[in-house]
Amino acid sequence: MKNAINRQIVLAARPVGEIGQDVLRLVERPVPKLAEGEALVRNQILSIDPTNRIWMNEEDSYLPAVQIGEIMRGITAGQVVESRSDLLKPGDLVTGLGGYADYWVGQGQLMTKLPGGVSLEASLSVFGHIGLTAYFGLLEVGKAASGETVVVSAGAGATGSLVGQIAKIKGCRVVATVGTEEKRRWVVEQLGFDQAIVHRANPDLRRSLELACPSGIDVFFDNVGGEVLDAALSNLALYGRVVLCGAISQYNNPGEWGPKNYGELVVKRGRMEGFIVMDYHARAAEAFAALSLWLKEGRLQYRAEVIEGLENAPLALQKLFRGENRGKLLVRISS
Ligand SMILES: NC(=O)c1ccc[n+]([C@@H]2O[C@H](COP(=O)([O-])OP(=O)(O)OC[C@H]3O[C@@H](n4cnc5c(N)ncnc54)[C@H](OP(=O)(O)O)[C@@H]3O)[C@@H](O)[C@H]2O)c1
């Protein structure tokens, strides 16, 4: 790759609140030479994830903070174009933390080869971090069981839409909170959820959930936090479980996050538990076998929205925080 230019989006400033125009900057750098054990990947698709916002903060989270001037961390799928790693050869399709960039140079062992027959889009929408999060979050952390009522927030999103469908497959009654009427119709009419509530501009979400879940919420799979979490806590069933997957409504909030009414956990003998998908990577094959079967059987669907051009990645990330994505949000870097 002599003289090839690598466009990279770097963290130029730490956001305070929402991600402003000054936070991410596009720079051009040469593609570095490969060291022993490394491979060069042409990134094709970038996954835009709410957690990207967390990585921009100064404090380390479950991963170290991205430093000012560093390439913005992001999950990508792409093709190996050169290799000095015994594990990979040119042409292999891989995923991993390839970053907001045209090219990714890294050690071969940090790149995961895609199984045959899995498209790059499917790898980032189902057969990767999103599928594992939905599968293990619902079944291992939430312990959802047949006959129970499951509520999932951001239920039309990448993770939430899989959670609701897996819960249906397992025989649960499923209610989602979603941001728009279009999303409400999609999850009920296309995905078979029992009910969905539009949370935006809802004057009394607590009451809407009470009406939708007359015997209470056995499992609340929370992607959103804030007021939605408070409303769900108020409707928890006896021995209800709250799966803390994420809290996107709070990621731009520099202050302390709720919840306000955690006393409900005492009264209902409830349990609230957080998890990070990385903890389940060793068991990926188990989840992917189930997800793959359900896809083949037509019992599971996903939708992905692809935005063209690496240069549009910052705009894509902002879209996610306005709820403007329809399904898994991806950016096409190259074809
Ligand atoms: N624990 C883990 O290991 C792990 C792994 C992956 C993802 N996550 C978390 O899972 C959640 C969903 O991630 P995803 O990638 O699947 O994204 P997504 O649900 O596809 O997209 C985010 C959605 O969040 C909703 N949203 C955005 N701002 C909101 C606000 N202020 N209040 C309420 N809802 C808001 C919007 O949906 P509406 O239009 O429906 O409001 C938006 O479409 C995030 O919290 C993420 O951090 C956690």
The CA–CA distances, whole Å, from 55 to 51, 64, 98, 150, 270 equal 6, 7, 15, 30, 30
Q: What is the pLDDT of residues 259-310, one digit of tens each?
A: 999 999 999 999 999 999 999 999 999 999 999 999 999 999 999 999 999 9
pLDDT for the residue numbered 113: 94
User: Which of 48, 222, 223 has most ligand 1 atoms within 8 Å of its beta carbon, as the pocket-test mutant?
Assistant: 223
Buried b or exposed e, range 119-148, using 16+ CB within 10 angstroms = ebbbbbbbbbbbbbbbbbbbbbbbebeeeb
- Establish whether residue 159 lines the binding site of ligand 1, counting it when its CB lies within 6 angstroms of any ligand atom: yes
| Residue located nearest, by CA, to atom 12 of ligand 1 | 223
Longest Cα pair distance anywhere in the chain, in angstroms? Answer: 66
Burial 34-58 (b: 16+ CB within 10 A, else e): beeebbbbbbbbbbbbbbbbbbbee
Short-list 295, 152, 167, CA closest to 223: 152
Q: Which residue's alpha carbon is at the smallest distance from atom 24 of ligand 1?
A: 154
Beta bridge partners of 196: 176
Rounded CA-CA distance 72/98 in Å is 9
Residue 171 Cα to ligand 1 midpoint, Å, equals 24
Query: How does pLDDT run across 160-213, given as a tens digit for each residue?
Result: 999 999 999 999 999 999 999 999 999 999 999 999 999 998 999 999 999 999
How far is 153 from 131, CA to CA, in rounded Å?
16
* Token duo for residue 164: 């609701």
Ligand 1 lined by 317 (C-beta under 6 Å): no
Angstrom distance (rounded) from CA 195 to CA 71: 41
Task: Indicate whether residue 157 lines ligand 1 (CB < 6 A).
Answer: yes
Q: Model-level pTM greater than 0.95?
A: yes
Asked if pLDDT for residue 2 goes beyond 80, the answer is no
Residue 226 and residue 248: Cα distance in Å, rounded? 9
